[in-house]
Amino acid sequence: MAAPMLWLLSIFSIFSIAACIDDKCAACNAVAAELEIQLSKEKPRNHLDMRHRLDSKGQRQGKVIDYRMSELRAVELLDGLCEKMQDYTLEKLDSSRREWIKVHNWDILTIDKQEAKAYSKDISSYCGRLLEETEDELTELIKKGSVKQGDVSKVLCEDLSEHCSGSSDRDSDNDEL
């Protein structure tokens, strides 16, 4: 008797978790917020010296690349982003609204911890899908300097993924992230 009930509960929880990403705009804004955090933590770096070869006169050949416009910077910003999304969970604000929040201490969480962890895995896998869809364009925009602090949500969620296009009402609900 307990086994069928457990099976039914697990099926129900899977469907309820899958439903949380119905609001792709809110989830995208949470990913953008984490990328904003990465941008704010960036430290100034020297240019990348790619002059490794010597010509016949002993002069170094190659390029010096501005770090802010380099592929390395884009890779460092995006690398591990989805793993960091496992620190997020879905919090119920009222009967109709939910918001993705960053959890700093899972021990003091007031909601069901198992459910919260399931939500965190869900947004992490959403992040993976989002980056898979937009990574090439996002990398190019980072290299061009078009992705700046304070502008990530617009670039990622409206322009690239279009998960927030035409949903200005829902965007304002997620400004606190």
Helix then strand count (H, E) for the chain reads: 7, 6
- Nearest residue to 174 via CA among 72, 17, 14, 32: 32
Spatial CB neighbours of 106, under 8 Å, sequence gap ≥ 6? 113, 116, 117
Task: Give the 3-state secondary structure of residue 1.
Answer: coil
What percent of the chain clears pLDDT 90, i.e. is strictly above it? Answer: 36
State the pLDDT at residue 51.
60
Task: For 13, list phi and psi in degrees, rounded to 5.
Answer: -65, -35
Q: What angle do CA 141, 40, 24 make, to 5 degrees?
A: 60
State the pLDDT at residue 174.
44
**Listed ranges 39-43, 56-60, 70-74, 116-120; the one with the highest mean pLDDT:** 116-120
Could you tell me the residue ranges of all domains in the chain?
A: 22-156
State the pLDDT at residue 50.
61
pTM of this structure: 0.71
